[in-house]
Structure formats: C-alpha cells, structure tokens
Structure 1
Amino acid sequence: MQYSNIPLAQMVVAYCEANKIQHIVISPGSRNAPLTIGFTFNPSFKCYSIVDERCAAFFALGIAQQLQEPVALLCTSGSALLNYYPAISEAFFSDIPLVVLSADRPEDRIGIGDGQTIYQENVYGKHVVAAANLKSGIDSGLLEHNAREIERTLSTCLKSNGPVHINVPFNEPLYGRTDKLLVPLPKALTQEQHSKLDSEQERRFNELWKTSKKKMLLVGVLNPNELDQEVIDFLAQDDGLMVFTETTSNLVNDEFFPSIDKIIAPLNESGFKDLQPDLLVTMGGLVVSKKIKAFLRDFPAKEHWHIGTNRANDTFFYLTEHVTASPNAWFKKIKTNLQSTDNSTYRTSWKKIANHRDMLHNDYMKEIPFSDLLVFHMLLQQLPKDLLIQMGNSSTIRYAQLFRWNHNSSMFCNRGTSGIDGSTSTAIGAAVVSRRATLFVTGDLSFFYDSNALWNNYIPNNFKILLINNSGGGIFRILPGHKNTDNFDTYFETKHHLNAQHLCKMFGFQYLSASNEADLNNQLKTFFRIEDTPVLLEVSTPSQLNDEVLLNYFEFIK
C-alpha cells in the first residue's frame, strides 16, 4: 500500500482509519495532495471527487445524515474551505458529524502575500464543536502536539455529533510517496455515552405528567426509528397528551397530530386558549412551523422541558429543564411510573377538530386550480411506498407540512439553518449511501442555485427530482409586501424564465415536464416507473395564482 511520505499526512489518515471514518469527500487541489494520496491509496476508505467545495460539503452532509457517523471533507488551502461554511453551519445546528480537513501553507507563509492563502485557523468560529491547528515539521515534540490535537478534535466530534475542523499545514514537495509507515498506528478513541438519567428530574417530571391536564409533546426533526414502538404506543394512549409531529419528525401514529399549521392557522383567541398546554415537552431538532412557535410564545405553558442529548433551544423563551438523555431511553425508563391525567379530554376533543380539518382539506383539493398546492396533493396520490424523501427549503417544506405522508417513507430537510443553498447536493449524498429509491422535491430558486450538485459522478439511477418551477421565489408572494411591481418582481420574488431541460441533457438526467393537471397525472406515472437512469420532472405552475390558492386554503379550513 502507498502512503504520503509526509508523517503528518500519515498521522491524519491513520486517525481517520482507526476511528472508522470511511467516507472521504475530496475536492481536487494541490496543497491537499499528501492527504489525497493517503486516503485514495487506502482500501479502508470510500473516496469521492467533487470539484465544487460547497456542493462537496453538502454531499458529505447527506451521507453523514443517513449514516449518523462522521464523514470527512478534504480541500486545498485558501478560499476552498470557506465554500464549506454553509454546510458546516447546517451540520452544527442539525447535529450532524463532519470532519473538515483543510490543507494549508506553513505558518511562516501566511500573511506575507503568498498565493492561495487566507487565515484558516479557527475560520468556522462558533459553528464547529472543536477545531485544531496542526504544526508542520517532523520533530517529536510537534508530532506529539499534533497527535493530541487530532485526538481531542475527533473525540469531540464522536461525542457531540457535530462538525469539527482540523487545519493541516504542509511544506513542499507535496506528492512524494512511500510504502513505509512513518508514524505509529493510533488506537480508536473511546466514545462516551450521552444519556444521563437523573432521579430528581424523573420525580419532578412524573409529578408534572400526572397533574397536568393538558400536556403537549412537540417533535422536531427526528431520524426514522429513533423511538421504539413501545414508547410510541405509550405516548398514544394518554388522553391528556397531544403529540404534534412534523413531516421531518418521521413519527407516525393515528393518535398523533401531523400538519400542525392545519390545526393552528384557523384558531381565534378562544381556540388558542383551549389549546394552550400546562406542560410543554419538546424533543428532536428544529421545528418548521412558524405558527406553532408564535402560538407557544403568545400562550406559554407553565413549564417547558426538552429531552435530548445535545443542545436544548429556548425557542419559546421559557425553557424550564433539559433532560440530557435520548427521548427513547428517557421514556422507556420512566413510562411504567408515569400516570395518565384523569378525566382529560385534551387529545380527544382536538382529534375531532383535526378530523374535521382533514375533511375540509380534502374538499378544498377537489376544487382548486392547477397550482403548487395541487402538485403536492397529486404527488401523494401516486407516491410509491418506502421512499427516502428529501425536501428543499422555503415554500417546498412548508407545503409538505400540510399533508399526511406515506407511513413507510422517511423525510429529511436541511432545517438547521433552513437555507436553500445545498438541498440538492444533500439529497444526492443521502441517495448515494441509501439503498432506497430517493425522491428530492424542490423549488426552482433552490434547484438553480445548487445546479452544480448535478456535476457529480455518483448519482444513482433510482434518484428522482420533482422540480416545482413557479418562475421565482413564490413564498415571498405569501408574505406581507407590495406585489406585482417591478421592484418586487426583481428584488424579492426574483422572476426568471429558466427551465431545467438543458441542465438535464448536460448531466445525464432524463427530463420530463408538465404544466397542467392532466400532463402531471400522466408524467407522474412515467416518472416513478423509470428505474434505469436519474430523472427530473419539471412542473411549471402559475406564479401569480399560487399565493391566492394557499391563502384561500387557510380561510376555507376555518
């Protein structure tokens, strides 16, 4: 086996191998050549080459999202690693482990006008859980320092499930190889358990659970199968508990309440007071629904407890307690002692309201014209089972929130920072390591913004893109503001006349299109039948009608 002849490069690769970091996403360059040699000549690693660093980072994010294990990113020096920043911030707020390995010039070459240099040390600031700036050189003191720094940084990544940055300076020459190991092989780092079950917290929680007649469990982003069925069944049986879920919660039960906005949006002040919980419990990651955030801020619970091993966000400004355990471990341990609230009608009364809203929802779908909202309705009519579904941000994920999705599918979206910038790249990365057919649903601005995502040699044949093209940022037509002016069209909605046909031809996607209900019905059948090549279905919707249809929807379900 071939190695770089630079000891520091061998050390970094050896630590990655010892800690079973298997996927390495490399953006070609010169300064990172020693590490590229080390990774690509070692059969322990699966290496990918993606030129655009921003796309590469989101691609790695998609892999780590699915595997729930660290994925390494490798780039050259200079502005290259700045292009990782959007994905790094997304990984930080979504608790996804990434390891950035940035090559650098030696310290004496920084700040003197040498080419391709910036100040790389701690460049990601608060958006990584750990950072290390290694030293170039081969004396034993420097090697010991570097080993300690690599251990500290990787250990934090493994324990915290967050992104880390290791900056690695190299002197020239960069391309030398050897068949000899120049550094000792490290041992795997110990991973400590996060869960901390506190008996005093358990006592207080039990008391609150028993005495609160109106309990609300709000579930944010959650990986599929994070809760055992016995925990789900327990949560579904308490009439004093409303479990609000989102599409990204990946949590389904007939007694739970999906489509939060469908319930919240039509309420008046009396309805909000009836819904106001005594006890609010949250778990999972960030929440999409703005309406539930506004409601819980304006009508606060008496206590808010968050259950989870990572950060507890004080989203509603009255966080009482943080249980630093996994929700599954916490409820499995305490559920036998939790007593349901006596004579509570909290869940059952709202279940009737939710069922009525579902009926009105279905009635509305029968009468609306061709629009973004109808596209989602039609998609669900033909959606196959057991898909990996990736959603774009902005209006796409918000439309998705209004529907009940297939129980056998799993749903993901970059909700850490909620940006549109890397959704396509993330979806492709996720598809590469998933054995399931993958559907990516996106809007036009997000898709064209990240079109370099298709410059990728690893896209599986069962990868599908549903592109909803409303010729601009349609979500801005729903928000307050002066519409149908040149200023609005140019600077807010950003109107355009682009389509994806030529991109598909260039990158080897089969292209389908639809611009009315009949076409879409037929094209969806073809879209889901195609299995031998990646395929994109572009659906053109009327930009000046979509906002009217959506706003009228919320009026109708009142």
Structure 2
Amino acid sequence: MYTNLKSYQIIIALLKAYNIKHLVLSAGSRNVPFVHSVEEDSFFTCYSVVDERSAAYFALGLSQQLQEPVVISCTASTASSNYWPAIGEAFYQGVPLIILTSDRNPSMLHQWEDQMIDQVGMFDRHVKCSVNLPIINDEDDWLYCQRLVNKAFLSLNHHGTGPVHINIPMKDYCLDFDTPTLPNVTKIQRIERNEENKWELAYKKLKGSKRILITCGQSPIFNDILNNALSTFYHKFNCAISTEHMSNINCEGAIHTSVCMDVRYNQISFAEFIPDIVISFGYNISQGIKEQLRWFHGKYEHWSIQPDGEIVDMYNSLTKVFECEASDFFEKMNTMADDTQKNNQEYYQKLSDYANNVHYPDFDWSSTYAVQQLIQRMPCNSILHMAINNSIRICNFFKLKENIRSYANIGTYGIDGCLSSLLGQAIATNELSFLIIGDLAFFYDMNALRIKHIKNNVRILMLNNQGGSEFYYNGSWKDESSDLHTTARHHTKAEGWVKENKFIYLSAHDKNSFEEALKIFLNKESEKSIFLEIFSEMKNDSDIIHNFYNMNRQFTPTTVKQKIKNTIKTILPEPIIKIIKQ
C-alpha cells in the first residue's frame, strides 16, 4: 500500500515512469510517507544511511558508478541542510542526484513551528532545477505538481547533468497508507534534434492521427521558411492550423479562430472539435482557444515546440517537448512523409466551416465599428500594434490584408508601454505604423508622445469610451460605484496633449465624422503623424460585442446544439457543466 499523500504518490509514480530505481533514505518523521511506500515496492532498491551528509555523498558515489540518477530523501529542517556539501560536489561534477526534502505546512514558516526552516530554493545556486510542490487540494494542484516533478526529472540531463531539488510540503504528519495502486501520471518527453528514433515514433503517431490541431502563438516576424513548412505540412497531415493576428502566420490551411473559439461566442462548441494531438509553437495566445483546450485537458496529446526545451504546459495536457525551431519541426516531419501522403481535409473542413459561419452585422457607432472600418482599409505592409484587452479582441474580429504585421504586449498583458512600443518600432521603418489603443492605456503611456524621434508614419486610433470598458464586458461592473474605482470613468480628452506634441489631431463622434477623419488618417503623404480620437460610451461598446456573440449563437443549427450538449455531458465534469449553463 502507498501513502495517501498525493504529492508523494505523483513522485513515486513518475520515478517509475522515468525508471529511477535507486533511493538513499535517511531516517526521519516527515519523509515516512515516502520511505514506507517505496520500501514496500519491489521496483525500488533502497539504501539506509542515517546521517544525511554521509547519505548524500554515498548517493553521489552510487550515481557515479551506476551512471544513472539516484534519489536522496530526508525529513525537514537541519536534516536537509546536511545535504549541502555533497550537493555542491554533485553540481560541480555533474552528478544527477534527486534531492527530496520533506517539509511542513508553509503557512507556519517563521511561526516558531517545530523542526521547520525555509527549505524553498535552499540549494538554488548549486542545482540545475529547484521546485516547491503544492499541497494538493484539487485538480489544478494535481496538474501543477505533476508538471513540476516532470520538470525536475527532465532537468537531470538537459544540456549537461547535475542535481535537482524537490521540496515537498505537507499540512499534517500523514501516516495513512490506504492507497493500493499509484495514480496514472503523464511522463513528459523532451525530444532533441538528433534523437532520430523518437522523431520516427512521433512521425508515425502524426501519420495515424485523424485530427491534428496546430495552435500558433505570438511571433514578432513574418517567417517565410516557417510559412512554407506549415503549408507543406497542411497538405500532408490531417491538420487544421489555428491562428490569430499576433501569430503573423500566412500559410495554407490557416484558420482565424479568434471569434469562433471565444467562450462567449459558443461556450460548448469545442466538444465537436477535440483533436487527437495539439501542436503548439510561438509565445502567448490571447484568444479563447486556449481556454477551450484547457477545459478538455487530458482528452488529447499536446506537443510543444520550444527552441530552449522549456516545459510550457499551456493546456495542462503536455506529453512531448520538441527542442527545436518550429520551422525545423515541420520541415523534418515533411521530409519523413512520402509523396502519396495527403490531408483528407475532414478536420480542416469541419473547423473552417465553423469559423466561416461567423455573421457580421452592420455595427452601430462604437469602438467596434471604428476598428472594423480602419482594418478594412489599412494598407498592405503596414504595422499594427494593439494595446490590450478590448483593442486586441476587436482587432481579431476582422481579417487583415496580407503582409500586415501585428504586435501586442501580451507576454505580460499589462496596460503599460504599448504606445512607447509602437513609437520605437515606427522609428525603424518607413511603413505606416498603426496603434489601436483605449483611453486608459493611452493616458497611462501618454508621455511617450514627447519622444523627439517620431517621424510622419505614426497613426494612432484612440478609442475613448470614457473608461475601462473591459469591466463592463467581463461583468466586473456592478453598479454606478464601480465607475469610480473599477472602470475609472472620466471625461478627459487627448486633444490638448496631442496638439502640444505636434501631431495632427482628428476626432469623431459618429459614423459621418469618422468617415471624413479616416480619409485624412490614412493619407501616406502627411507631413506629420496623425492622432484620431473617437468618442463612444463604454457600456454601449460592451453591449455591441455581446450582441454580436448572441446574434451568432442563433445561427448554430438546433440539431448541432443538441449533439454538442450530449457530447459535453460525457466529457466535462459536472462543475464545468453548471458554469456553462449559467
């Protein structure tokens, strides 16, 4: 029987998955859940060394002779400190030790708790990886713990070998051993460029898959090599390619999923589109497909392409990390496929039809209307910067012309710096450089207009709806008092500051005035940069977006709706279903 402590269950199960058998155990109370579990399991070879300093050196020698990782385990407090000398030696000799330090309730640190010191990161400068496990109370904790243990084990031999540290806190001194079998765990596999056998197995998996979904994260540049490789991959494998503007992807098989996969557009539709494999590359993804995939985690494999080999489990379903550039991955898979291999188009067509079923009304005057009109007329080869939240959302409603490069600071997703970022980029190009920015984001970064190097190619569209409309959109606005501290409602204009800094200033309050202003705004021959401020009301702006989603829901056929509902009931847990019904 195994311990009831879930964190140790995960560790033991993953030790087996990684075929790590040799454990050096030092007597103590806090590590009894681990010690008794493994000493009863014939898979492991256990060695008893009472003194922790000696135990760590013993493990070092054992690992050197076996040429494989060895675990050391101890109780809390100074017991862990006694590992220090051998860990330093292991670090400088590249010996792969797994240091398991049992710990007490984190909430009692520095509260005169018995036998407790700060063990988090205590070996940081002399280990390849250091993780502090969560106390597992729910599924999120479980997934997080599993990821951290995988990360530590994968670090043992990543770009050299060396020790790793796993700290295991626990609320109570648990001596219950009522678990007959270990849980199913996911062993994450890292595949480097030269591991041909693993690539071959991955290719065979792809070849046999009926539904491959490629999610393209943020990328700052157009990459013709990647676009060509993706196009070829699309023709050879049963895949669909999900993009958003910040992906800067222009290839065959690309589907812009920002609207159709927004959870407010149709919260249960993704049940019809669950893939066999998700392949991700690039940086952050801002749109709803990330949330949809998380809802259905564990129902598919996630392969992450990471040039640095980092563990990025964006969808809580990670199974493989390919340490290479995205273009290298797709080119390699393409060369392994023969000329007769073709995409049957079934999955692509299903997702493409759904995305193309989005209906666009004649929007009333609003931020949405203004952005739509600008994007439809934005010249090819322009640069587009989007500020945050609403600006990004609305821009992704509408299709861009070819070769418009798109940017947004979604790495951190903060309100600050979007204006400064656009100005920095505009200085280094002669193409028209557009920024779509809300009022709060502009006033936050307004001092950037004083930068002396601004040329005549900057075009700023400011959506002034008198506050943070995002809080109307997401339901944070509760009553008029919310306008004080949440939406920060105001009646400020940008006009004076813009003119002071020698921009051409334009404004619009309705469709007619916007149409006239837009003609000037898009003039490439302007001697000065241009600032266009449009005025709307944030509640109305929010309502227009919600009405857009609501209108589109009625276009989903009833039979499809019922089929989706039936599928959902067999897949999603009951708490999620209740949230969807709300």
Q: TM-score, normalised by structure 1?
A: 0.61
Is contact 2:274-2:300 (8 Å) kept?
no
1:268 Cα shift? 5.5
Aligned to 1:353: 354
Q: 1:296 to 1:479 in 2, by over 3 A?
A: same
Tell me what 2:321 maps to: 322
CA contact (8 A) 1:239 1:346 kept: no
Larger radius of gyration: 2
- Is the partner of 2:255 in helix, strand or coil? coil
| AA aligned opposite 1:499 | K
Give, in whole Å, the separation in 2 of the partners of 1:519 and 1:414.
Answer: 31
Question: Secondary structure at 1:494's aligned position in 2?
Answer: coil
Matches within 5 A, 1:179-218: 196-218=193-215
- Once the 2 structures are TM-superposed, how far is the Cα of residue 326 of structure 1 from its aligned partner? 0.6
Deviation, 1:312, is 4.2
Q: CA deviation at 1:480?
A: 2.1
* Structure 1 unmatched ranges of 5 or more: 1-124, 127-193
Q: Distance in 2 between matches of 1:328 and 1:403?
A: 27
Q: Please report how far the alpha carbon of residue 263 of structure 1 lies from its aligned counterpart in structure 2 after TM superposition.
A: 4.1
Letter in 1 for 2:412: T
Matched with 1:474 is 469
Equivalent in the alignment of 1:114: none
Spell out, residue by residue over 1:56-112, the C-alpha distance to the aligned partner (whole angstroms, 9 max, x if none): xxxxxxxxxxxxxxxxxxxxxxxxxxxxxxxxxxxxxxxxxxxxxxxxxxxxxxxxx
Of 348-357 and 389-398, more deviation after overlay is shown by 348-357
The aligned residue for residue 372 of structure 1 is 367
Partner residue in 2 for 1:440: 435
Q: Specify which of 502, 508, 522 is matched with residue 514 of structure 1.
A: 508
| Partner of residue 495, structure 2 | 501
Task: Measure the CA separation in 2 of the matches of 1:327 and 1:254.
Answer: 16
CA distance in 2, matches of 1:421, 1:268: 31
AA of the residue aligned to 1:551: H
Cα separation, 1, equivalents of 2:400 and 2:312: 27
What residue number does 1:387 align with?
382
Question: Residues 477 and 486 of structure 2 are in contact (CA less than 8 Å); yes or no, is this contact kept in structure 1?
Answer: no
Seen in structure 2, the aligned counterparts of structure 1 residues 504 and 264 have a Cα distance that, compared at 3 Å, is: closer
Q: What letter is aligned with 1:353?
A: Y
Q: Contact 2:504–2:531 at 8 Å: present in 1 too?
A: yes
Q: Return the alpha-carbon distance in structure 2 between the equivalents of residues 197 and 261 of structure 1.
A: 39
Quote the Cα distance in structure 1 between the aligned partners of 2:344 and 2:420: 50
Is this contact kept in 2: 1:468–1:539, CA < 8 A?
yes
CA distance 1:548–1:195, change in 2 (3 Å): same
Counterparts in 2 of 1:526 and 1:197: CA distance versus 1, 3 Å = farther
Q: Compute the displacement of 1:502 (Å).
A: 0.7
Corresponding residue for 2:271? Answer: 273
Structure 2 counterparts to residues 75-474 of structure 1, below 5 A? 196-228=193-225, 229-238=227-236, 240-253=238-251, 255-265=253-263, 266-267=265-266, 269=268, 271-289=269-287, 291-300=288-297, 301-310=299-308, 311-338=310-337, 343=344, 345-357=346-358, 360-361=359-360, 364=361, 366=362, 368-474=363-469
CA drift of 1:333 comes to: 2.5
Contact map agreement 1:219 1:244 (CA 8 A) in 2: yes
The C-alpha deviation readout for 1:318-358, integer Å capped at 9, x for no partner, is 2111111111122122312137577561111222222222x
Secondary structure, in 3 states, of the residue corresponding to 1:533?
Answer: coil
Deviation at 1:482, TM superposition (A): 4.3
Paired with 1:196 and 1:459, the residues of 2 have a C-alpha distance of 44
How far is 1:238 from its partner?
4.7
Contact 2:302 2:319 in 1 (8 A): yes
CA distance in 2 between counterparts of 1:395 and 1:207 reads 42
User: Aligned partners of 2:511, 2:407: CA distance in 1, in Å?
Assistant: 27
Once residues 242 and 389 of structure 1 are traced to their aligned partners in structure 2, the CA distance between those partners, rounded to angstroms, is: 26
What's the % identity of the aligned pairs? 24
> What amino acid sits opposite 2:491 in the alignment?
H
Q: How far 1:388 moved relative to its partner?
A: 1.1
Q: CA RMSD in A?
A: 2.4
Amino acid of the residue matched to residue 486 of structure 2? F
The answer as to whether partners of 1:382 and 1:524 remain within 8 angstroms in 2 is: no
Distance 1:408 1:554 in 2: 28
Matches within 5 A, 1:49-60: none
Query: Is contact 2:270-2:292 (8 Å) kept?
Result: yes
Shift in CA distance, 503/315, structure 1 to aligned 2, threshold 3 Å: same
State the distance in 2 between where 1:284 and 1:397 align: 18
